[in-house]
Amino acid sequence: MPMWVALANGGKMRGQSRTGDAVVRIVKCRHGGDVSMSSMQLNWDIFCRVIDNYGDIGICWRLARQLAREHGKRVRLWVDDLQSLRPLCPEVDLALATQCRQGVNIVHWIEPVAVDSVGDVIIEAFACELPAPWIAAMATATEKPCWINLEYLTAESWADGCHGMASPHPALPLVKHFFFPGFSSATGGLLRERNLLTMRDAEGTGCVASETLEVSLFCYESAPVAALIDILMDSPMPVHLHVAPGQPAAAVASKLGSAGPWQGGNLSVLPFEFLPQDEYDRLLWRCNVNFVRGEDSFVRAQWAAQPFVWQPYRQADDAHLEKLDAFLARYVAGMSANCATVAVDLFQAWNSKGDLRQAWHDFLAVRSEIASYNRCWAESLAGKPDLADALVKFCSSKV
C-alpha cells in the first residue's frame, strides 16, 4: 500500500496539524502502522533583518531559494527591508506585504507581527531576534519547531566547538541551536547549490584566452581603492576593473571624479549596475582576480576558483583581522611556501597592513599557480556537505 499524507487544507485527516496549513504529523506507511512525520519538516520560516547592506539578505535569499528548489521545502522569508532584496531579486514588488518569487514566499517583516502559522523550522538569521508573539506561538505549539540561530561565517577554531550547541529558553519550553557555517567538517559548511560547479565549468568551456586582465571590485569604503587604481593604471597589460555599485563605485568616483566609465593608462574602469546573484556568480567566474568582501561574495569567490582577495567586515578593536588571519591559516596551508607568502601579503595589504603595490606585483607573478590551487581548494570544500543540506539533516535530527 503506498504511503499517503493527509494535509490540513484538505484530504483524509489522520492526526492533528500544528496550525494553519502545516503538514499533519501522522502518516500511513506501506508496512502498516503510524510513524511521525516530524523528519519531513516541510514548512520553514527564515527571519532576516538587513544590517550590512546586502550581506545578510544575500545569504538568506540564497538559502531560501536552495531549500525550496533542492529540498522541496515551503519557505517563508521574512525581511524587514524589501528594498535591499530587490536588487538580488528584481521581480520583488515593494508595495506587497506578501508575494511568491522564485519558489519562496516573501513576507515584509513589519511590527506588529500577526502569527498565522509557525513553521516546522524557524531560522533566526544572525541573531536578529524573533518577534515576541512568534516566540510565544512557538512555545504553545503542540509540536515544538526546530529553532536555529544561523551565525556568521568564521574560520576561527572556536566555531567548531560551538556549532550545534543548544541554548534552552530561560522561561519557555523551547531550545535554540547555534548553527555555524564554516570550512571544516565540524561546522555546517558553506552554501553551494548542487549544480554550481558544473555550471561554472560549463561557462568556461570554449572561452578564448585574453591578454586583458579582468578584475572585479566589491569592497567596503575603508579599502585602499585609490591606491589600487594608481597601481592598475601603471599595469604593463590592459586591465578591465569591473566596479560594483554602492561603496566601491563611490570610492572610485572619489578618486577619478564623475560617474564613469574611466580610462587611464592601460586601465579601463567599468562600473556595473547591481546584479542578481546568479549573474554576479558569472562575473566572478569570468574575472581573473576578484576583490570581495563580507561573507556572501567571499564564499562565491571561492566557488569561482579564481584568485581572490578578501576584505572582512570591519569590527571594533580590529577583531576582523583575527578572522582574516584564521581564514588565511586554513586557506594557504596547502600552497607552496612562496605562493602562501604572496597570498598572505596581498590579503594583509588590502586590509591596510602592508605595501599594496609590491604585494600586487608579487601576486601577479604567481597568479596562474594560485588559480590552479584555488580550483583544488574549491573541490576540497565541495567534498564537505553544503550548508543547506547540513541544515536539513541537522534539524531532522533534533525533533
The pLDDT score that the predictor gives to residue 37 is 40
CATH number at residue 90: 3.40.50
**Cα dihedral 192, 196, 198, 202 sign:** negative
Structural domain harbouring 279: 196-382
Selected catalytic residue, list 56, 151, 281, 362: 56
Strand runs labelled E in the chain: 4-7, 23-28, 34-36, 43-48, 74-79, 98-101, 104-108, 121-125, 146-150, 166-168, 175-179, 213-217, 239-243, 262-264, 267-271, 289-293, 308-311
Confidence class for position 102, pLDDT limits 50, 70, 90:
very high
User: 278-311, pLDDT tens digit by residue?
Assistant: 999 999 999 999 999 999 999 999 999 999 999 9
- Please identify which residue in the block is written with the cell numbers 529540498: 71
Whether residue 253 contacts residue 220, with contact meaning beta carbons closer than 8 Å, is answered with no
**Residue 247 and residue 103 share a domain:** no
User: 214-250, pLDDT tens digit by residue?
Assistant: 999 999 999 999 999 999 999 999 999 999 999 999 9
**Residue 32 and residue 46 share a domain:** no
Q: How many domains does the chain have?
A: 3
The pLDDT score that the predictor gives to residue 53 is 64
**Residue 328 and residue 202 share a domain:** yes
**Residue 243 and residue 110 share a domain:** no
- Please identify which residue in the block is written with the cell numbers 564613469: 260
Neighbours of 381 (CB within 10 A): 16
**Residue 158 and residue 242 share a domain:** no
CATH number at residue 350: 3.40.50.2000
What 8-state DSSP symbol labels residue 216? E
**Residue 203 and residue 162 share a domain:** no
**Residue 211 and residue 150 share a domain:** no
The pLDDT score that the predictor gives to residue 12 is 27
**Residue 330 and residue 208 share a domain:** yes
Assess whether pLDDT exceeds 60 at residue 10.
no
**Residue 279 and residue 178 share a domain:** no
Assess whether pLDDT exceeds 60 at residue 66.
yes
**Residue 202 and residue 351 share a domain:** yes
The stretch 47-58 carries a mean pLDDT of 85
Instruction: Look up 56 and say whether it is catalytic.
Output: yes
Selected catalytic residue, list 193, 295, 296, 386: 295
Does residue 245 have a cis peptide bond before it, meaning omega lies within 30 degrees of 0?
no
Assess whether pLDDT exceeds 60 at residue 16.
no
Instruction: Look up 156 and say whether it is catalytic.
Output: no
**Residue 176 and residue 254 share a domain:** no
pTM, two decimals, is: 0.88
**Residue 244 and residue 131 share a domain:** no
Alpha-carbon span 301 to 179, nearest angstrom: 22
Nearest to 73 by CA among 399, 313, 393: 393
Assess whether pLDDT exceeds 70 at residue 26.
no
The stretch 331-335 carries a mean pLDDT of 98
